[in-house]
Copies of this chain bind each other. A is one copy, B any other.
Amino acid sequence: MARPRKPLLDQDRIATAALELVDEDGEFTMPALARRLGVQTPSIYHHVDGRAGVIELLRAKIDEEIDSALLDLRPWDRALDAYARSYRAAFAAHPHVIPLLATSTVQAPRVVVVYDMIAAVLIEGGFAPEQVMPSYTALENFLLGSALDRAAPEVMWEVPPGVEAPHLSRALAAQTTSPTRSDQAFEFGLAALLDALRAMNASP
A-to-B contact residues, CB < 8 Å: 99, 102-103, 105-107, 109, 112-113, 115-120, 122-123, 128-130, 132-135, 137-146, 148-149, 152-153, 155-160, 163-168, 170-176, 181-182, 184-189, 191-193, 195-197, 200
Shortest Cβ distance from A179 into B: residue: B134
Q: When the two chains form their complex, are residues A144 and B134 in contact, meaning their CB atoms are under 8 A apart? A: no
CA distance A141 to B105 in the complex (A): 19
Q: When the two chains form their complex, are residues B102 and A174 in contact, meaning their CB atoms are under 8 A apart? A: no
Shortest Cβ distance from A156 into B: residue: B105
CA distance A148 to B141 in the complex (A): 8
CA distance A137 to B187 in the complex (A): 11
- How far does the Cβ of A158 sit from chain B's closest Cβ, in whole Å? 8
Q: Contacts of A139 on B, CB cut-off 8 Å?
A: 189
Q: When the two chains form their complex, are residues B171 and A129 in contact, meaning their CB atoms are under 8 A apart? A: yes
Q: Contacts of A142 on B, CB cut-off 8 Å?
A: 138, 141-142, 145, 189
Contact partner, A105, options B120, B138, B143, B152, Cβ 8 Å: B152
Q: When the two chains form their complex, are residues A119 and B156 in contact, meaning their CB atoms are under 8 A apart? A: no
Shortest Cβ distance from A103 into B: residue: B99
Q: Contacts of A167 on B, CB cut-off 8 Å?
A: 116-117, 119-120, 123
CA distance A155 to B143 in the complex (A): 21
CA distance A148 to B171 in the complex (A): 28
Q: Contacts of A166 on B, CB cut-off 8 Å?
A: 116
CA distance A116 to B164 in the complex (A): 9
Q: Contacts of A157 on B, CB cut-off 8 Å?
A: 133
Q: When the two chains form their complex, are residues B130 and A175 in contact, meaning their CB atoms are under 8 A apart? A: yes
